[in-house]
Amino acid sequence: MMHSKETTADQEAAPGWCHWHDGPSGTALLIDVIGEDSGPAFSRYACKPCREQRGLQPEGAQP
């Protein structure tokens, strides 16, 4: 049974998941996309605290 309460467009802009601390987040941004020859690309998101701690730059950020 499908039960959707949010649009996919909003979820794409704010995935709500951090792959660095492996948990939910309201500040996660796209960091990079890992392309695999034998599989689909995997997008990695990091939340604000993880970006600051690890010095991560969001995808497309201007220097």
Binding positions for Zn ion, rule: CB under 5 A: 18, 20-21, 47, 50
Minimal distance, residue 3 CB to Zn ion, in Å:
27
The CB density around residue 29, as the number of other CB atoms within 10 Å, is 20
Cα–Cα dist 29/21, whole Å:
13
Cα-Cα-Cα-Cα torsion 18, 23, 26, 28, nearest 10 degrees, comes to 0
Minimal distance, residue 24 CB to Zn ion, in Å:
9
Minimal distance, residue 21 CB to Zn ion, in Å:
4
Nearer CB in complex with Zn ion: 39/55:
55
